[in-house]
Amino acid sequence: MTPRSIGADAIFEQRRPAMTGLAYRMLGSRAEAEDVVQDAWLRWRKVDLAEVEEPGAYLNRVVARLAMDRLKSARARREIYVGEWLPEPVVEPDFEAGGDADLSVAFLLALERLTPLERAAFLLHDVFDTPFAEVAAALGRSETACRQLASRAREHVRRDRPRYAPSVDEERRLTTAFLQAVMTGDEVALRDLLAEDVVMHADGGGVVSANLNPVKGLAKAVALITGVRRKWPPPEGTVVRLARINGQPGLVLSADGVVFQTVGLEIEAGRIAAVYTMRNPEKLRGVVQ
């Protein structure tokens, strides 16, 4: 191994978490994000470090372009996706770690409504603090155009950003109470915990049972939860633990050492405003029990 390769390896590994984070937010898939970072690594190995003025900016540029290329085919697949598409969950076992609004499912779904260029400009500048000069180089557009792209994206995303930041104690209390209410089928408790305009999201990918479209409203949500609990109780020996799902409070369900479901909760003003249930086995492969 040459001194050059040792230096290049160290630079790349230092930047890996940020690159993976950018690619994941672009694509909504941890697996695809890791593929993008691997492709970036193959390109990085061929680069003469002496010609790279700012390695971080260069790598962000490579990752953004690779992710935009993949986004075209990803969007085509989502058009024929069975049921509602949700991003692959990112699970943090430490519930006390606190939230990350720029990783939430609501945020990622808001990004889905943007064009690839808007998404890249917004993420690079607003989330990863990249100067517009570097954003312009990454996207092959002028700085003015990139400012406009980011501004349009910001307007779309701002409407979906949480206006309320619950404490970790409140998140734990609501998550634990929600689990208890679901497991016992307690309709009164559920009506106490869920917001009037709560939305139930689920992704089964056409592989396992899940509601195909979002279920909106308190009455329908309670009926769905209690109905599912009666018809399809969790497997015997199911283990449930609290965790962070995309930075939000949530639950990880496993049986026989295999995770079969994650549930993320979005909390607004002391109530559960949205529930994101992931049941697609393909998207749960990377979740550790």
- For 162-186, write each residue's pLDDT tens digit: 667 889 999 999 999 999 999 999 9
- DSSP assignment of 54-88 equals -HHHHHHHHHHHHHHHHHHHHHHHHHT-SS---PP
**pTM for the full predicted model:** 0.90
Q: Can you list the domains of the chain with their CATH numbers?
A: 1-80 (1.10.1740), 105-161 (1.10.10), 168-284 (3.10.450.50)
Q: What is the spatial distance between Cα 86 and Cα 69, in angstroms, rounded to a whole number?
A: 20
Give the chain's mean pLDDT.
91
Handedness of CA 64, 67, 72, 77 (dihedral sign): negative
Establish how many alpha carbons lie within 13 A of residue 67's alpha carbon, considering only the half-sphere containing its beta carbon: 34
Q: What is the spatial distance between Cα 225 and Cα 248, in angstroms, rounded to a whole number?
A: 20
Report the largest interatomic distance among the alpha carbons of the chain, rounded to a whole angstrom: 67
* Residue 6 scores a pLDDT above 60: no
Give SS3 for 268: strand
Q: In what order do the strands lie in the sheet containing 248-255?
A: 91-92, 239-245, 248-255, 258-268, 271-278, 194-203, 215-216
Residue 93's φ and ψ, nearest 5 degrees, are -60, -25
- Predicted pLDDT at 162: 64
> Which class for 283: exposed (0-12), middle (13-18), buried (19 or more C-beta within 10 A)?
buried
Are the C-beta atoms of 265 and 272 separated by less than 8 Å? yes
Q: What are 68-92's pLDDT values in tens digits?
A: 999 988 888 888 899 999 999 999 9
Q: What are 85-141's pLDDT values in tens digits?
A: 999 999 998 888 777 778 899 999 999 999 999 999 999 999 999 999 999 999 999
* Mean of pLDDT values over 189-207: 97
Are the C-beta atoms of 275 and 198 separated by less than 8 Å? yes
Query: Which two three-digit tokens encode residue 202?
Result: 């689920």
Q: What is the spatial distance between Cα 35 and Cα 16, in angstroms, rounded to a whole number?
A: 12
- Predicted pLDDT at 1: 42
Q: What is the spatial distance between Cα 182 and Cα 229, in angstroms, rounded to a whole number?
A: 7
Establish how many alpha carbons lie within 13 A of residue 211's alpha carbon, considering only the half-sphere containing its beta carbon: 18
- Predicted pLDDT at 119: 95
User: What pLDDT band is residue 3 in, cutting at 50, 70 and 90?
Assistant: very low
Q: What is the spatial distance between Cα 177 and Cα 174, in angstroms, rounded to a whole number?
A: 5
